[in-house]
Structure 1
Amino acid sequence: MPSVSTHVYVARPTTEVFDFLADARNLALWSSGVAHVDPAPVAPGVGAEYRYRYPGRHRPHRLVCAAFEPGRRIVFRGQRMWCPLGTQVPEYGFDLVPYTGGTQVRLSVTSSLRAALLLLAPVVAMAWRRDLPADGRKFCDLLGGPLAPSAPLHAPVTARALPAASEGQVRPTSAPSGFDFAH
């Protein structure tokens, strides 16, 4: 079961970051593991179910909130996906900690593999080690500036609602960041 994680710092209050992550529709804006999420509104919480497309898949699958601790932790688990080599179940986890005027976020992806896909676990881990840090940077860039006041907390943020980098966007450089993984 390959598991990969990275830590990022977002210069926003923990409640805002959590509210953004609690709405799985926002995953498609920055996560390479989510190609599309159905735009229908869903109340956040354990058991909240979204329809999403995993990259390379043509039909939608279920994405269910498996853990929900307001301000601290959220986990989304994808539906089991079949291929000729076996099945996989992706799990996207987010752990938040308030940190010097912002939020330290641990982004993690765990893939539960079955059958012959188990033999490809090192390849799956290598792909996530390559993609997750880029996803983390995209996540930070997306939340780097203040959300537009008109953007509701539980709705996807569009590129139009984000401020341009030239509007004085400043992010501390002394914030911890890192990349860690286990396989």
Structure 2
Amino acid sequence: MPEISVDVHIGRSVTEVYDFLSDARNLELWFSGVDTVAESAEPAGPGVAHVYRFPGRHRDQLLQCVAYVPGEHLVFRGDRMWNLLGAQTPVYSFTLSPRRRGTLLRLTVQCRLAGGLTLLAPVVAMAWRRDLPRDVRRLGERLGAPHCHVIAAPRRVRLPGPAFTPAADPTAAPAALTQPGPQVRPEPRPQVPSGPHPEQHSEPRPASVPAAKERATRPAA
């Protein structure tokens, strides 16, 4: 399932960029992942579906808006498309954040592949890495942005990892050096009773162990 992302700075306000992107009919003007979009009277918003054609296909598909946060986030998901090798489902995500001289846009393309198409995932990822920089530059041209340049090269998107912990800090010492080892408790020393125990000499001592060798007598002072 290849996921490719690219960051671009566009010299227009967040409102202008978002309004242009949220209208699915504008996708065919700049985005290589959409060939045509049929006219629709429905306003932009979550759940709205548009009839479109994926490049290289002659059958109409539905492109649905599955996430819509005005001025921040926008996601379109296409229908699952089948062929002799398998199926693919395209997902296009736009994340915007304001900057002093415009808008920072992150465009992410995700292709969910099934069947034999999973073997072509590297080829699909390579095609998107080639096309996305051209797409975002065309977007800047359509918006008439005076400044539009790619900040980060297309790259694979990593899934969010576990929450940060001090042990995960790469500058921290290894866990084996920072964590204390197992505590070893010393064995208790046997206590010698001060006087004879009533049960200590209940049985007779063996004849082979004379009592005189157990405790040496001190010479008289």
DSSP 3-state at the match of 1:110: strand
Q: CA deviation at 1:136?
A: 0.9
Q: State yes or no: 1:41 paired with 2:41.
A: yes
Higher relative contact order (CA 8 A, sep 6+): 1
- In 2, the alpha carbon distance for the partners of 1:107 and 1:51 equals 21
In 1, are the aligned partners of 2:5 and 2:109 still within 8 Å (CA)? Answer: yes
Partner of 1:110: 110
Q: Quick check: which has more Rg, 1 or 2?
A: 2
5 Å-filtered alignment, 1:128-147, equals: 128-145=128-145
Partner of 1:71: 71
- Of 141, 149, 152, 1:178 maps to 152
Q: State yes or no: 1:60 paired with 2:34.
A: no
In 2, are the aligned partners of 1:8 and 1:140 still within 8 Å (CA)? Answer: no
In 1, are the aligned partners of 2:6 and 2:150 still within 8 Å (CA)? Answer: no
Post-superposition, which runs of at least 4 consecutive aligned residues in structure 1 deviate over 2 A? none
Task: Summarize deviations over 1:64-87 as a string: whole Å, max 9, x none.
Answer: 001111100000000000010000
Q: CA deviation at 1:176?
A: 6.6
Q: Which runs of 5+ in 1 are unaligned?
A: 146-169
Give the percent of matched residue pairs that are identical in Structure 1 and Structure 2. 49
Task: Summarize deviations over 1:128-155 as a string: whole Å, max 9, x none.
Answer: 001111101111111134xxxxxxxxxx
Number of aligned residue pairs: give it: 157
Q: CA deviation at 1:41?
A: 2.5
In 1, are the aligned partners of 2:49 and 2:64 still within 8 Å (CA)? Answer: yes
DSSP 3-state at the match of 2:131: helix
- In 2, the alpha carbon distance for the partners of 1:8 and 1:140 equals 9
* TM-score when normalising by structure 1: 0.82
In 1, are the aligned partners of 2:133 and 2:150 still within 8 Å (CA)? Answer: no
5 Å-filtered alignment, 1:90-105, equals: 90-105=90-105
- In 1, the alpha carbon distance for the partners of 2:36 and 2:154 equals 27
Higher alpha-carbon deviation: 4-13 or 116-125: 4-13
